[in-house]
Amino acid sequence: AASGRPLKLLTLLLVVQGDRVLLGMKKRGFGMGKYNGYGGKVEAGETVLEGALRELHEEAGIKATDATPRGRMLFEFRGEETVMDVRVFSASAFEGEPTESEEMTTEWFGVDKLPFDRMWADDRHWFPILLDGGFFRGYFEFEKDKIVDGVLERTADA
């Protein structure tokens, strides 16, 4: 029998092209004021990958052509019951031109110049694994924007 806390399935897609990463500044809603990859909820009737590709197109105007699973993060907020189950993808190729949306900007950052102090606090822990081509799984407990507990491992697959 399924036990434990409710999981909320979310996607996160990072476009990494050589030595640059496409990030968006979230203009409103959850994560507002932070740079992040593109993603969000998975809708009924779509796969997790389809959901990730849909969110990328809605938020940044591009269609990734080689998206692949890279990791899985579980996030919880102290005092909240739901655990966020974030499926992380990366892509290096896309069709179209990155285009700002109502939700997100589209900005390229050099891999050595990522704005970690304006990103979620977990990113600085798993981005190095993402960028070296590895896979990862992690769990982070947040209190507001701070990490109060967490574990992260490099894995053989996503």
Ligand X SMILES: Cc1cc(-c2ccco2)c2oc(N)nc2c1
Binding residues vs ligand X (CB under 6 A): 10, 12, 31, 36, 39, 75, 84, 86, 120, 122-123, 142
Q: Other CB atoms closer than 10 Å to residue 11's CB: what's the count?
A: 25
Closer residue to ligand X, CB minimum distance, 1 or 88 = 88
- As measured in angstroms, the least distance from the Cβ of 157 to ligand X is 20
Closer residue to ligand X, CB minimum distance, 103 or 123 = 123
- As measured in angstroms, the least distance from the Cβ of 137 to ligand X is 14
- Residue of minimal Cβ distance to ligand X: 120
Q: What is the dihedral of CA 75, 78, 82, 85, to 10 degrees?
A: 0
Closer residue to ligand X, CB minimum distance, 21 or 86 = 86
- As measured in angstroms, the least distance from the Cβ of 73 to ligand X is 7
- As measured in angstroms, the least distance from the Cβ of 82 to ligand X is 11
How remote is the C-alpha of 35 from its chain's centroid?
A: 10
Closer residue to ligand X, CB minimum distance, 36 or 106 = 36
